Amino acid sequence: MPVIGLTGNIGSGKSTVSRRLKALGAEIIDADQVARDVVRPGSPALEELVASFGPGILKENGELDRKATGKLVFADPRARERLNEITHARIKEAIQDKIKEFLARTAASPHPEVLVIDAPLLIEVGLHTDVDELWVVKIDEDKQIERLSRRDGLSPEEIRSRIAAQLPQEEKLKYADRIIDNSGEPAETIKQVDQHWANLLKKHFRAKEGI
């Protein structure tokens, strides 16, 4: 059963692609949700974060304040590196466990089963070596900045720091098996996703069945 890695930089529209793939029948692992689970209250990762950055990164209920932490680490490369040291290995291990569980559960399934790892930092943490295909969502920079400003209310400086913190889009595209250009209208993006999905099924299932 194929495992697809879906990635794209902040503001690329990766979530739109992920939702479409889910509607088409894919099982989705949301790396952002895994990241939240890794730093849940009482977790070793959260304890390390508080020891490194202080209790100011916590909400009143003891949960990690992701917005406050983001402002801290995107303004300081060393702080971001420390955050990554604490969380990335744990996130990667948790996702790899989910991949193993999916493969074991679907090995004997008579129906096509596809797993999608939706992860903005999929390449950065090395998960691209655990997937059968890597799909990259690309977007024009002007459109990316416009979306981030409208969606998150970020200042131009904050937008630039977040974009700079990720592997450049041009580098990510070098790893891509399939590319979705999300610079146009939503319908154009959906059309691309549907075509890639059809080609995926043909490649991994119809060939196997001799069709």
Q: What is the pLDDT of residues 108-165, one digit of tens each?
A: 888 889 999 999 999 999 999 999 999 999 999 888 888 888 888 878 788 888 888 8
In this structure, are residues 181 and 170 in contact, taking their beta carbons and an 8 Å threshold?
A: no
Tell me how far apart the alpha carbons of residues 196 and 201 are, in angstroms, rounded to a whole number: 9
Tokens encoding 84:
């990554």
- For the chain, give the mean pLDDT: 91
Strand partners, 193: none
Question: Is the pLDDT assigned to residue 69 strictly greater than 70?
Answer: yes
Burial of 100 (0-12, 13-18, 19+ CB in 10 A): exposed
Q: What is the CA radius of gyration of the chain?
A: 18
Tokens encoding 24:
């088409």
Reduced 3-state DSSP string for 174-188: HHCCEEEECCCCHHH
Domain at 3-206: CATH code: 3.40.50.300
Question: Is the pLDDT assigned to residue 175 strictly greater than 70?
Answer: yes
pLDDT of residue 131: 96
Question: Is the pLDDT assigned to residue 206 strictly greater than 70?
Answer: no
Residues 6+ apart with CB under 8 A from 54: none
Structural domain boundaries in the chain: 3-206
Average pLDDT value for residue range 166-177: 94
pLDDT of residue 211: 41
Tell me how far apart the alpha carbons of residues 122 and 92 are, in angstroms, rounded to a whole number: 9
Q: At 11, phi and psi to the nearest 5?
A: 80, 5
In this structure, are residues 34 and 101 in contact, taking their beta carbons and an 8 Å threshold?
A: no
Residues 6+ apart with CB under 8 A from 51: none
